[in-house]
């Protein structure tokens, strides 16, 4: 069983949980909202039963080209010659963490620790979102 999906929501990097002065931990509002959006979109394409074996995740994080860029910069970005390396797009591992949490919430995986292979990249595109492919490893 292989699951392929396009999740039409802008990628947001996850982060470590924050702690209040009282010792309560929480996920910042922006990340929590993104995780809910991922889960909502992924739930519509979830399998009947979550995957319960080791699996491979391929994820492409697609970012919108900044509007302030020149036409030549936009062309280079959309052709893949200019890649999203700014700190605003976030670290690849943090992007993957939030995606995995959302996919687990959506019922794709019994536990995100089951992902033992990860193929991830960041690109610019016409529409921001996540291109995701999840498959069990035989």
First to last CA, the chain: 10
Share of the chain above pLDDT 90, in %: 76
pLDDT for position 31 = 86
Q: What is the pLDDT of residue 44?
A: 93
Token pair 């970005």: residue:
77
Separation CA 25–CA 118 (nearest Å): 28
Lowest-pLDDT range of 27-41, 55-69, 89-103: 27-41
Q: Is 56 exposed, middle or buried (0-12, 13-18, 19+ CB in 10 A)?
A: middle
CB 129 within 8 A of CB 6: yes
The number of domains in the chain is: 1
CATH of the domain at 15: 3.30.1330.70
17-21, 79-83, 122-126: which range is least confident on average?
Answer: 17-21
Q: What is the pLDDT of residue 87?
A: 83
3-class SS at 1? Answer: coil
The rounded distance, in Å, linking the Cα atoms of 5 and 26 is: 29
Between residues 70 and 27, which one has the greater pLDDT? 70
On whether the CB atoms of residues 103 and 3 are closer than 8 A, the answer is: no
* Domain of 18, in residue numbers: 3-136
CA distance 117 to 89: 22
**Angle of the 92-106 helix axis to the 29-43 helix axis, nearest 10:** 50
- Quick one: which H or E segment has residue 132? strand 129-136
Question: What is the average pLDDT value for the chain, to the nearest integer?
Answer: 92
131 pLDDT tier (thresholds 50, 70, 90): very high
């Amino acid at each position: 069983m292989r699951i392929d999906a396009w999740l039409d929501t802008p990628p947001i990097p996850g982060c470590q949980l924050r702690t209040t002065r009282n010792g309560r931990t929480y996920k910042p509002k922006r990340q929590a909202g993104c995780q809910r959006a991922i889960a909502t979109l992924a739930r519509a394409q979830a399998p009947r039963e979550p995957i319960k074996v080791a699996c491979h995740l391929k994820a492409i994080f697609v970012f919108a080209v900044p509007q302030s860029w020149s036409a030549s910069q936009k062309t280079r970005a959309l052709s893949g010659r200019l890649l999203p390396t700014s700190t605003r797009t976030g670290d690849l591992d943090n992007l993957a963490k939030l995606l995995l949490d959302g996919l687990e919430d959506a019922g794709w995986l019994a536990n995100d620790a089951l992902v033992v292979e990860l193929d991830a990249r960041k690109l610019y595109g016409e529409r921001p979102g996540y291109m995701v492919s999840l498959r069990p490893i035989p």
